[in-house]
Structure 1
Amino acid sequence: MAEHTLREQGAGQAGRPTGRPAGPHGHGPGGRMAPGEKPKDLGGTVRKLLHYMGPYRVGLIVAVALAMASVLFSVVGPKVLGSATTEVIRGAQAAAAGTGSIDFGKISRILIDLLCIYLASAAASGAQSWIMTGVTQKIVYRMRGQIAQKIARVPLSYFDGGTMSKGDVLSRMTNDVDTLSQSLNQGLIQLVTSITQVVGVAVMMISISLPLAGVTFVTLPVSALVLGALIKRSQRYFRLQQQQLGAVNGRVEEDFSGQVVIQAFNRGERAVEHFERENDLLYESAWKSQFLSGLMQPLMNLVGNMGYVGVVVVGAGLAVTGAIQPGDIQSFIQYVKNFTQPITQLATVSNVLQQMAACAERVFEFLEAPEEEETAAIDPATGKPAEAIGRAKGAVDFDHVSFGYLPDKTIIHDFTADVRAGRTVAIVGPTGAGKTTLMKLLLRFYDVDAGTLFVDDHDVRDVEREDLRQNFAMVLQDAWLFKGTIRENIRFGRLDATDEEVEAAARYAHCEHFIKTLPGGYDFQLDEGATNVSQGQRQLLTIARAVLANRPILILDEATSNVDTRTEWRIQRAMDKLMAGRTSFVIAHRLSTIKHADAILVLRDGDIVEKGTHDELLAKGGFYAQLYQSQFEEVA
């Protein structure tokens, strides 16, 4: 590549309006409910779920077969018991007439058969429960894993653009998947067993008495009408309930992470007010969904009891005429109860299945979200990208780059800059000038709208993101550390690093002194958010992580903003050594930290207004000089 120079063009920054919709505060049926998203195709969601469960079809089929067998065994039981009752009555009548006696041997054999039938039913039910539990846990295990992988594949704009909050993603991974697991484990089998029991009991009732069966079947259309009406009205509220649960989780996560700021500004009441607003909407949707579903069981019991009264009246008349045996009457009464019970269970399970459908819809919606598209050309012979950077030398070229987060709001205007490998370029300017946006483009968190961005003469769109990003190390103003030991957090920069290399990186970044003062040293356990170390110490650890990564290109975004002056001096010395031989992009507001940069780009209102070295820019007496001098002026 020809010798690179810095060429002036422009960059811009535009803000995006943000905000939360207000909501009502009413409770119960009298409160207003914000219009929620219309329910999607229930049948389509069920088909997706059935297809998703395809790899586990053998276990599901076996579990369903065992559930049906368990029900069929239990359905046969009352008929067998009725034959024992009939045998007792016949024997008693024969004994009274002096023509015979009760055959206890036959009755004993009938009761032993009945015991075996019920034991077989219990065994089939237990085996079904064991298999179904295993299958559902495998399904949700796979689903959680896919959600976790999906988070890494969706573009950054998916979260930056407000498409979905972190709390909503967490809700889908936890609440929705857990509800789906319980619904599959309980609702699916309950649906199968209830239908099997209804069919089995219907067949047995018809075999005993067609008139009595007809009286019972009259209740079916009434039950269907009740179920259909309630399910249709409650489905939309179940979906809205899950959506609002995600919104509440997002609000809790946001308020928890910002608790220090909320208390410092005495905004606790405002935070509670915002939470209650979301909570009220959740209350309304949950209240309506649970109320409507709760109506199912009492209404179905009412319909079933009406049928039961009809059977008793007609059955009494048939018994008087001798059209039916006493034992058959006993069996039929049991079957009536067993017939209305699964219909009531169907009403209850419809609640569970609605929740399952609502949760599955939300999970599939996230799993089907658009992912970062790889634009690299694939070599058909190897199946790998035709271009690869490997370990870059570090040359970077912005060639007439334009970009905007929104189509009608351009932030970077025709930006051009060539950076030779191993050079340090500082980017300075007021907040909102587009400094960090340039780094997001360089890492392909976003792709340029126009122009081209090169790394070592490779258009970044012609290589895989993973191949590109393996050449970058970052130290950001907001230090990110995860729950784990200090050693594990530093090793995050290079996972195969030895303990000696981790400790050497810590010494290089001036971390070792404070690490040794902590209980356990390098094995000190950081809590969630690393709140048990200071903010400056967190930043030092992220710098050690970048040292250990040993990447050819560095991005330092306000890397020393959270440390004291003495530590900043130490870190600056370490950074000078770290940046030696590497291409470095330094975003800084403390202009004293970039005096030795090879070149400085000064951005204002989205344009490069000045470029040059620190001394050159001070000598010009322009905007950079004003920024530099303003940091040393006393505030009157």
Structure 2
Amino acid sequence: MTNTVKQLSKSVREYKRDAILTPVFVIGEVAMDVVIPMLISNLIDYGITPGNMDYIYTVGFQLVVACLVALALGVLSGRHAAKASAGFAKNLRKDMYYNIQDFAFSNIDKFSTPSIITRMTTDVTNVQMAFQMVIRVAVRSPIMLISALFMAFRLGGKMAMVYLIVIPLLGFGLYFISTSVAKIFKRAFKRYDALNAVVQENVSGIRVVKSYVREDYEIKKFTDMSEGMRQDFTKAETRLALNMPMMQLCIYSTMTAIFWFGSRFILSGGMTTGNLMSLVTYTMQMLNSMMMLSMVFTMIVMSRASMERIAELLRETPDIQSAPDGVSEVKDGSIEFKNVSFSYKGEGTNPSLMDVNLSIRSGETIGIIGSTGSAKSTLVQLIPRLYDATEGEVLVGGVNVKNYDLEALRNSVAMVLQKNVLFSGTIKSNLRWGDENATDEEMITACKHAQADDFIQSFPDKYDSRIEQGGTNVSGGQKQRLCIARALLKKPKILILDDSTSAVDTKTDAMIRDALANDLADTTKIIVAQRVTSIQDADRIIVMDEGRINGIGTHEELLRTNEIYREVYTSQQKGGDEENAQNE
């Protein structure tokens, strides 16, 4: 827990001054709150009871000043506490977000997207509230408790012994209640992650849900998750609700005892009416301080799980990092795999790639084909270091990819993934992800190569047309072509198209390939595809099967020598012939 607190405290930074000033003002406020009952006692005993108006005016003025000072200090402490806690939360989100930007795919896989979102929202809010209570309430309550207890003994003498009975009993009860809910809250936050995952899947896949008429199933799944959270929080809140009746029992019991003994002392002349009134006030201050301490403790218990989850994300080291003094320039687009094996779960566990040896010349066009799950995408993701090889070496431009500056390597490799997305904004702003300084002419040229210019020109606002989040207002084929154009703007030495023309027709696919062949002759082009027609003109074609290279050659060579390739080609040709016959 200590390491967690140290980790999170680094995010206070520029708000450290506000975090320090808050308890300073709180201490001043407590001092005034302790003085006020004494002034009231003197006002009653030496002013009101004997009818001394001069004394009433003097002490009354002092009382007004003390109240105003306490009010001002309270406002200042609240203002600085709010500024410090809100700034601390802002920095936490910023630090987590910055760290996430450096995560490798494997780091994202480890935490999951819904869990990361929960940590940056719900968990940060919990920690923010706990931080504000710690720098304000956790400072005020113990000081007020000790000060009020001291003054109570000073005024009440032996009668104040009742506090030594009530306070330990109340403290033990509050501690028991608070600690008993810790495991419940920890379980509840895990349910938050699961609930976010359900919502994310449902919203992003809403078209599939509706097309399969699975709304009732999704509603039931969401309802079950919500019910689990309701049960957890109901159980926790039920236990926490015991705080108030237990506090009221202690308050009323203590007040009854104070009035009982106090009235006897007043009748016997051992205590004044003013002292009794002050003693009652100090009693309320003590018990309220205990109540506030229980709230702080409860908030810390609630936020402890959140603190650990946030610290875990902040401590996470990206699995893939730039090499110290890494190579800053990629010489050419040559690629070499030397005895490469890879597993998503680590060395020796369910390998996806096994003993891959491959050499690709700069400027060469390579096609990759294979059945689903043959590790086609895994193979090409090792080139820009989206993942690192578990065994062996991957070389780009004659240099091991691990020896490059990561930004330099990825700027030289443009990759259009299977699940590429567009971001909310204009078409221009999306294209400029490839080159933020791209001119309008360069964007138009890239879109023409990607066969995207025609449909863009048909939009009312053309290149200034709005793209909704995820590209939901364009078709799948249009989205793929925009993503290809975005990649071309990088002017890469290596261009990887990972099944990125699957949503376009064969004619458009052929036009894209012709444009790439003619205008990017010096760029190494790797085309991962399911259709033979998308790769049959490549310089060489790689056939993948269960994580291994099953064959390499031209289209004609593989038809003669590779059974897998021949079967794929034959089945697709047959399907094409049947489709043509139906059209006729």
TM-score by length of 2: 0.93
Distance 2:5 2:260 in 1: 43
What's the counterpart of residue 390 of structure 1? 329
Distance in 1 of aligned mates of 2:322 and 2:12: 32
Change (3 A) 1:438 1:490: same
Q: Which runs of 5+ in 2 are unaligned?
A: 580-584
- Conserved? CA contact 1:477–1:560, under 8 Å: no
Q: Does 1:166 align with 2:125?
A: no
Most deviating of 615-624 and 604-613: 615-624
1:327 to 274, 278, 284: 274
- Partner of 2:392, secondary structure, is strand
Match of 2:132 among 185, 188, 195: 185
**Whole-angstrom distance in 2 between the partners of 1:79 and 1:454:** 81
When the two chains are superposed, the root-mean-square deviation of aligned CA atoms in Å is: 2.1
Amino acid at match of 1:351: T
Q: Do residues 415 (structure 1) and 356 (structure 2) align? A: yes
Corresponding position: 1:211 with 2:158: yes
Shift of 1:50: 4.6
Give the whole-Å Cα distance in 1 for the aligned partners of 2:559 and 2:65: 97
Question: Contact 1:427 / 1:588 at 8 angstroms: preserved in 2?
Answer: yes
2:81 to 104, 119, 132: 132
**Larger RCO: 1 or 2 (CA < 8 Å, sep 6+):** 1
Cα deviation 1:266-314 (Å, max 9, x = unaligned): 3333323333333233223222222222222221221222111111111
Contact 1:403 1:413 in 2 (8 A): yes
Matching of residues 509-520 of structure 1 within 5 Å: 509-520=450-461
* Cα distance between partner residues in 1 of 2:307 and 2:20: 21
Structure 1 residue aligned with 2:582: none
Aligned-pair CA distance for 1:389: 5.1
- Superposed displacement of residue 456, structure 1: 1.6
* Equivalent in 479, 484, 496 of residue 555 of structure 1: 496
The structure 2 residue matched to 1:87, chosen from 30, 36, 46, is 46
Partner residue in 1 for 2:59 = 110
Going from structure 1 to structure 2, the CA distance change for 1:264 and 1:49 (only over 3 Å counts) comes to same
Deviation at 1:619, TM superposition (A): 4.2
Q: Could you tell me which residue of structure 2 aligns to residue 153 of structure 1?
A: 102
* 1:597-608 matched pairs, under 5 angstroms: 597-608=538-549
2:44, 2:519 → 1: CA distance? 93
**Counterparts of 2:547 and 2:274 in 1: how far apart (Å)?**
91
2:248 corresponds to 1:307? no
Counterpart code for 1:614: H
Match of 1:618 in 2: 559
Equivalent residue number for residue 61 of structure 1: 20
- Aligned equivalents of 2:420 and 2:517: distance in 1? 20
Counterpart residue identity of residue 404, structure 1: S
> What letter is aligned with 1:137?
A
Give the direction of change, closer, same or farther, for the CA distance of 1:348–1:621 in structure 2 (3 Å limit).
closer
For residue 629 of structure 1, give the secondary structure of its aligned residue in structure 2: helix
Residue pair 2:15, 2:84 contacting (<8 A) in 1 also: yes
Per the TM alignment, residue 89 of structure 1 is displaced from its structure 2 partner at its CA by 4.2
- TM-score normalised by structure 1 residue count: 0.86
- The CA distance in 1 between the partners of 2:562 and 2:412, in whole Å, is 37
Kept after mapping to 1: 8 A contact 2:449/2:516: no
Q: Which amino acid aligns with 1:563?
A: V
**Alignment CA distance shift 1:450-1:423 (3 Å):** same
CA distance in structure 1 between the aligned counterparts of 2:256 and 2:7, rounded to whole angstroms: 43
Q: Residue 154 of structure 1: SS of its match in structure 2?
A: coil
Which residue of structure 2 lines up, in the alignment, with residue 448 of structure 1? 389
Whole-Å Cα distance in 1 between the matches of residues 5 and 178 of structure 2? 15
Q: Choose 201-210 or 590-599, whichever is displaced more.
A: 201-210
Aligned to 1:229: 176
Q: State the alpha-carbon separation in 2 of the partners of residues 547 and 578 from structure 1.
A: 11
What's the offset of the Cα at 1:345? 1.8
Q: Equivalent residue for 2:444?
A: 503
- Cα distance in 1, alignment partners of residues 483 and 292 from structure 2: 57
Helix, strand or coil at the partner of 1:633:
helix
Measured in 2, the distance between the counterparts of 1:448 and 1:474 equals 18
- Amino acid in the other structure paired with 2:416: V
Matched to 2:518, the amino acid is K
Given the alignment of the two structures, is residue 486 of structure 1 paired with residue 435 of structure 2, yes or no?
no
The one-letter code matched in structure 1 to 2:82 is T
1: distance between equivalents of 2:154 and 2:334? 87
**Cα distance change, pair 170–524 in 1 and its aligned pair in 2 (3 A):** same
Q: Helix, strand or coil: the match of 1:610?
A: strand
Matched, 1:74 2:33: yes
Cα distance, 1:351–1:586 mapped onto 2, change above 3 Å: same
User: Relative to structure 1, is the Cα distance of residues 495 and 235 closer, same or farther in structure 2, using a 3 angstrom cutoff?
Assistant: same
* Percent of residue pairs identical: 28
| Native 8 Å contact 1:555 1:585 kept in 2 | yes
C-alpha spacing 1:602/1:621, structure 2 compared with 1 (3 Å) = closer
3-state DSSP of counterpart to 2:349: coil
How far residue 445 of structure 1 moved from its aligned partner, in angstroms, is 2.2
Partner of 1:264: 211
1:528 counterpart letter in structure 2: Q
Distance between the aligned counterparts of 1:130 and 1:302, measured in 2? 34
Give 1:375 shift. Answer: 7.2
Report if aligned partners of 1:301, 1:340 keep a CA contact under 8 Å in 2. Answer: no
> Deviation digits for residues 47-87 of structure 1, max 9, x if unmatched?
54456547644432211010111122122112111211113
- Structure 1 unmatched runs, 5+: 1-40, 92-101, 379-383
**What do the CA deviations read for 1:138-159 (whole angstroms, capped 9, x no partner)?**
2222211111122122331233
337 and 447 in structure 1: CA distance in 2 versus 1, 3 angstrom threshold: same
The number of equivalent residue pairs is: 575
How far residue 362 of structure 1 moved from its aligned partner, in angstroms, is 1.0
The one-letter code of the counterpart of 1:246 is D
Further displaced range: 61-70 or 293-302: 293-302
| Paired residue secondary structure (2:574) | coil
Name the SS of the counterpart of 1:631 in structure 2.
helix
C-alpha distance in 2 between matches for 1:608 and 1:621:
11
Of the three residues 219, 243, 255, the one matched with 1:296 is: 243
Q: Partner residue of 1:381?
A: none
- Please tell me whether the aligned partners of residues 218 and 307 of structure 1 are also in contact (alpha carbons under 8 angstroms): no
Letter of the 2:40 partner, please give it.
L
The one-letter code sitting in structure 2 at the alignment partner of 1:397 is: E
Deviates more, 1:500-509 or 1:227-236: 500-509
Q: Which residue of 2 aligns with 1:98?
A: none
Offset at 1:493? Answer: 0.6
Residue in structure 1 matching 2:288, options 341, 366, 369: 341
Distance 1:571 1:148, change over 3 A: same
Residues of 2 paired with 1:504 and 1:566: CA distance?
Answer: 19
Letter in 1 for 2:175: G
Task: Give the partner amino acid of 2:202.
Answer: D
Answer whether contact 2:543 2:565 (CA < 8 A) is retained.
yes
Letter of the structure 2 residue corresponding to residue 369 of structure 1? E
Alignment match, 1:424: 365
The CA distance in 2 between the partners of 1:426 and 1:284, in whole Å, is 55
